[in-house]
A and B are shown apart, each in its own frame.
Chain A
């Protein structure tokens, strides 16, 4: 059975921003993209117009594998929105680069799983109103 990615009762959408719109549209073809320096190879998140490492302006969004490891997480219990069920927020580190991180949601993981930190996960996208929200599921989860 497919994992339900629609975890949040209310989704706060991203602002329209020429620096970041590519990120939120990236999942349309099933791929996660980050700004990538074409000179030194450094990925940057949040996106910036110049490479924060070598300062090159030669940056473009490039796809990554979508595979990541959970650095840390929390199970949100408080109902900031009425009726919201508990959900897992995590910071994941992409396999391409040690400091390429993303705050995201985890789906298909038990709330009381004792081994969430260090878990291998991979990206899935939830499409809502022309935004593709990257969400992560345990590696190898059914599509």
Chain B
């Protein structure tokens, strides 16, 4: 039996304006993206019978992280739905896309609108970027020890990776430099000016060994897609973006500091499961759109997905040639969250579909037929292998 995820494809993509401090509401941006995605799929809102989002209503809504709930968007568009989903748990941000795919495979829906909206730039501009700001008490066992930012948590992974495998700051910097070079070809990227290794090495330190340029840039923006049943492909205006395999596994302790091998991440299990669901191999991948909330996460995905062995990621990206647009494994062709902006996972999937369709303009990678999109870092992970053409 074929993988149920092969019953669906990404029929439409859309996005709102994105950038720093747009001063618009999350719903305003979301509807722009949603309507563009629906039109791009060759559909009208009457065709949409499912809505899914990450992280969904009432989930971590602080400082512009949350975006509108799935039901709020349902109501704003006056949709009658056969399926609705919103959760911050699951296979990272693209878990919501995998849910849509699963609902289609289960026969619950035919066209599911999925979206992810952030207004972190505007909200942090108003309230300050101050993790724990105003917070006097917290659960868990991190912030009480000054580990208040995700930068701190990922910095410790990077530190151990460097200690154990000899990974260097210069090697890690290739992630940031590559993203910036790619962003130069993306008119919608926030940061497009070229970056040198000197710029990187002299950037303000946030939490050793991670500097400002290892951290993504908060933006406002919404990204939306329509996930449709493959039966629609013959009528769809842009039949590409077929889902070949997904990875949803969660092996080991889901924790920022208790994961067994602190040089790697939950990405390990996700990648293993994804590859077990396809005949395609890492060598078949033409482009990799790998989550880059922090540069070290991208390195962890490169290793987890088997583009090189665990611990060899530093050597793999050394010099940057291999992961450049012209290299054997172009990554984050839109500039990633490090330079395009933190559209929080959905930006990577949007770019993957644009590349598979040949719609990526100046930054198009020739003959991109197999693309992996991976989301999440630390204890959060999900991945998806997308193909240009349908394969059963």
Contact = CB atoms under 8 A, between A and B. Distances in A.
Contacts of A75: 205, 207-208
A108 to B, nearest CB: 16
Contacts of A23: 141
Interface in B144-178: 144-149, 151-152, 155-157, 159-160, 163
Given A12-B135, A80-B148, A91-B262, A73 B142 contact: no
A71 B157 CA distance: 10
Contacts of A46: 140-141
A74 B163 CA distance: 12
Contacts of A89: 145-147, 152, 156, 207
Contacts of B147: 76, 89, 103
Contacts of B155: 74, 76
Interface string A76-87: 111011000001
Contact of B146 (A15, A71, A76, A101): A76
Most chain A beta-carbon contacts within 10 A, residue among B133, B147, B151, B157: B147
A14 interface: yes
A102 B208 contact: no
Chain B interface main SS type:
loop
A77 B157 contact: no
A27 to B, nearest CB: 13
A14 B138 contact: yes
A2 to B, nearest CB: 20
A56 interface: no
B149 A117 contact: no
A117 B208 CA distance: 13
Nearest to A90: B156
Nearest to A106: B145
A72 interface: yes
Contacts of A12: 132, 135-138, 143-144, 148
Nearest to A74: B155
Contact of B156 (A7, A20, A91): A91
A9 to B, nearest CB: 10
A119 to B, nearest CB: 12
A36 B208 CA distance: 34
A83 B173 CA distance: 29
A74 B208 contact: yes
B146 A77 contact: no
B305 to A, nearest CB: 23
Interface string B110-132: 00000000000000000000111
A68 to B, nearest CB: 13
Interface residues of A, number: 36
A17 B208 contact: no
Interface in A12-26: 12-17, 20, 23
B145 A71 contact: no
B206 interface: yes
B257 interface: yes
Contacts of A15: 137-139
Contacts of B209: 74
A100 B155 CA distance: 20
Contact of B207 (A76, A117, A133): A76
Interface string B240-266: 000000000000000011101010000
A30 B155 CA distance: 30
Contacts of A71: 160, 262
A77 B208 CA distance: 8
Interface string A10-48: 111111110010010000000000000000000001100
A75 B257 CA distance: 16
Contacts of B140: 46
Interface of A: 7-8, 10-17, 20, 23, 45-46, 71-78, 80-81, 87, 89-91, 99, 101-105, 117, 133
Given A76-B206, A103-B256, 18 more contacts: A7-B146, A11-B144, A12-B136, A12-B143, A12-B144, A13-B136, A46-B140, A73-B159, A74-B152, A74-B155, A74-B208, A74-B209, A76-B207, A77-B208, A89-B207, A99-B258, A101-B257, A117-B160
Interface of B: 130-133, 135-149, 151-152, 155-157, 159-160, 163, 204-210, 256-258, 260, 262
5 contacts: A8-B146, A12-B137, A71-B160, A89-B207, A101-B258
